[in-house]
Amino acid sequence: MKYEFLRKIINYRYFIYLYTFLLPFTYFGSQMGLLTGILIFWWILDIKNNKKFYQKKLYSITTSKPIIFMITFLIFATLSYFWSSNKEEFFSTLNSQKYFFYLLPIIYTSLTKREALKNLKILGISFGVYGFFSLLIYLGLFSWDGSTQENPKFLFRYMIAGAYLVLGTYLLYYFAMLEKNITYRIFYIIFCLITFIGVFINNGRAAQVAFIITLIFFIIINSKKIKLNLKIILILATAFFIVINIILNKNMLVIRYEKAFNQIKTFDLDTNYYSSTGQRLKMYYISLELWKNEPFLGVGGGDLKDLFHKYVIDNNIKLGWMYNTVHSIYSEYLVKYGIIGLFLFLFSFISLFIELKDTNKGLYVISILPLLIIFLFDSILLYKPFNNVFIYTFTLLCILGDKKILKKR
């Protein structure tokens, strides 16, 4: 009887739930390695005990187009070793993708659709907890080294915190609408509001822009389903504008956006690019210039930084300080892996949308679209732990999109 109880508690799926919750909080250097090591070991044991289930899941990998495109991209990125001059920098870049090779097959083969949806829910709650600590810092009720009330990012840099909070807001809203239990629904709504506030009290403008554009798309695709209850709409709209107005004024976000808009208006490629926005635009231009040298295969995973620095010095470009990224994952991958590598990366999202459009189009819009927008403004996939959170979310959505995967065991 004792052993039966322990068997139920010490369960592989329960460990995956714990792994999912802790993933956005992988703050310590050895944390990810230790947890993933346990995950791999337990996965191998589970394969021995559930051979038929895993045989079906392994076959489904070969028919999942998003997974195939993503794996092909990762293989292509790895092969770029052979045309990279700076091998040390190549391995540094590859290091940011190393857990992709573990998480994709392990999570994809381990979970049913129902379990994948549950893990997506846990991920949303984890983002909600992150947002809660960020809000406490903003209110002056909690402190964390490197965070301030003006920049309550908590554990990680604000571009990662912003991405977490945008995803958290939409995922928690999505599950609140699905939830029939009123207590759980209130729980999701409270954390949804916390992460929503967190989006605008943090300094990540890319995340804020992603939130607004995603909201517009979400309203458009759900326009027929939205019930026109004037009273509820007025209450929500009033609450929304009051909260936003307070945050915008307190954090001077309006001034920051006005400044960015004016910087774009006065931007000049040769002389006037010294602003934050102008420097980003200049870096995108430099990326295109570097890409022209190796348009198909790219310069390799290890050479972008050296070539970028050389171009800046040779052309006497003043960027304030020497950047190690070009502030856009699309520009980053275009230069490193060429048009072939970038297309493989993008096709994984296009094929995922095709698989989800009939059943979970809304879920795709609220979980993948914000990331695709953020990728435009930041090289965020090069940074831990967001890179691992990204591939984890992508894999869970691939499970939900695959028509051949079992809903339950």
| pLDDT tens track for 122-152 | 999 999 999 999 999 999 999 998 888 888 9
pTM of the model: 0.90
Q: Residue 6 domain-assigned?
A: no
Longest Cα separation, the chain: 77
Give 353-357 contacts, CB < 8 A, sequence gap 24+.
354/65, 355/64, 355/65, 355/66, 355/398, 355/401, 355/402, 355/403, 356/397, 356/400, 356/401
Q: Residue 409 domain-assigned?
A: no
Higher pLDDT, 222 or 191: 191
Q: Residue 408 domain-assigned?
A: no
Identify whether the C-beta of residue 165 lies closer than 8 Å to the C-beta of residue 130: yes
Closest by CA to 280, choosing from 260, 251, 296, 305, is 260
Closest by CA to 382, choosing from 318, 333, 339, 340, is 333
- Structure tokens, 311: 């171009």
Residue 87 C-beta-side C-alpha neighbours within 13 Å:
1
Q: Residue 5 domain-assigned?
A: no
Q: 47-63 as b/e, with b when 16 or more CB fall inside 10 Å?
A: beebeebbeebeebbee
**Which H or E run contains 70?**
helix 65-79
Domain that holds residue 211: 11-401
Q: Residue 67 domain-assigned?
A: yes
Q: Residue 335 domain-assigned?
A: yes
Please determine, for residue 236, whether its predicted confidence score (pLDDT) is greater than 70. no
- Structure tokens, 394: 């992508």
pLDDT class for 235, splitting at 50, 70, 90?
low
pLDDT class for 325, splitting at 50, 70, 90?
confident
Distance CA 55, CA 47 (A): 9
Question: What's the pLDDT at 141?
Answer: 93
Question: What's the pLDDT at 249?
Answer: 61
Please determine, for residue 305, whether its predicted confidence score (pLDDT) is greater than 70. yes
Please determine, for residue 406, whether its predicted confidence score (pLDDT) is greater than 70. no
Q: What is the mean pLDDT of residues 289-301?
A: 95
pLDDT class for 324, splitting at 50, 70, 90?
confident
Q: Residue 2 domain-assigned?
A: no
User: How many structural domains is the chain composed of?
Assistant: 1
Question: What's the pLDDT at 257?
Answer: 63
Q: Residue 57 domain-assigned?
A: yes
Question: What's the pLDDT at 218?
Answer: 82
Question: What's the pLDDT at 102?
Answer: 94
Distances (CA, A) of 166 to 170, 225, 261: 6, 23, 22
Name 66's Cβ contacts closer than 8 Å, sequence gap at least 6.
348, 349, 351, 352, 355, 394, 397, 398, 401
Question: What's the pLDDT at 1?
Answer: 46
pLDDT class for 322, splitting at 50, 70, 90?
low
Mean pLDDT of the chain: 86
Identify whether the C-beta of residue 205 lies closer than 8 Å to the C-beta of residue 212: no
